[in-house]
Amino acid sequence: MRVLGVDPGLTRCGVGVVEGVPGRPLTMLGVGVVRTPADADLGHRLLAVEQGVEQWLDEHRPEFVAVERVFSQHNVRTVMGTAQASAVAMLCAARRGIPVALHTPSEVKAAVTGSGRADKAQVGAMVTRLLRLAAPPKPADAADALALAICHIWRAPAQNRLQQAVARHTVNPTKGRTA
């Protein structure tokens, strides 16, 4: 499974591609950051994020895109920019028919470190270890993007089985239980 992880942001949008399957060593295929100037017009910044994500999709051809789920922050301006960058990444994937999964920061931390309250240094250290890298990816947005991809590789099979089980056992109002 090849996954593009996206840590959305307007100034720095982390991107990272990981390939692998649960229970086997993972391989990093690429990591980086799409940057936009803070003083640029919002429309131009979003366009730059789109162009950057499109380049990553062209180059790495992922099967899935994992995006950090935007959560409420005290700074509305920051959360708006993050949400806008997130929407751009999801749009790029949807345009190509690539499935998108959203993962919360605590889900990603728990998947990669074992604790949903891990700090950025712990996430970076585990990403480095899991991908057998010489040093943690910099900046932290890049490491977070790789963590998102790893989280999706490890969680997707279980999530798919759960969704299939729920679908088999849902109640059809006109016919009763479907399974």
Q: In the annotation, is 68 catalytic?
A: yes
The tokens of 76 are what?
A: 């509305």
Residues 88, 104, 159, 2, CA torsion sign = positive
Question: What's the 3-state SS for the chain?
Answer: CEEEEEECCCCEEEEEEEECCCCCCCEEEEEEEEECCCCCCHHHHHHHHHHHHHHHHHHHCCCEEEEECCCCCCCHHHHHHHHHHHHHHHHHHHHCCCCEEEECHHHHHHHHHCCCCCCHHHHHHHHHHHCCCCCCCCCHHHHHHHHHHHHHHHHHHHHHHHHHHHHHCCEECCCEECC
Of the candidates 39, 41, 58, 68, the residue annotated as catalytic is 68
Q: What positions carry a catalytic annotation?
A: 7, 68, 141
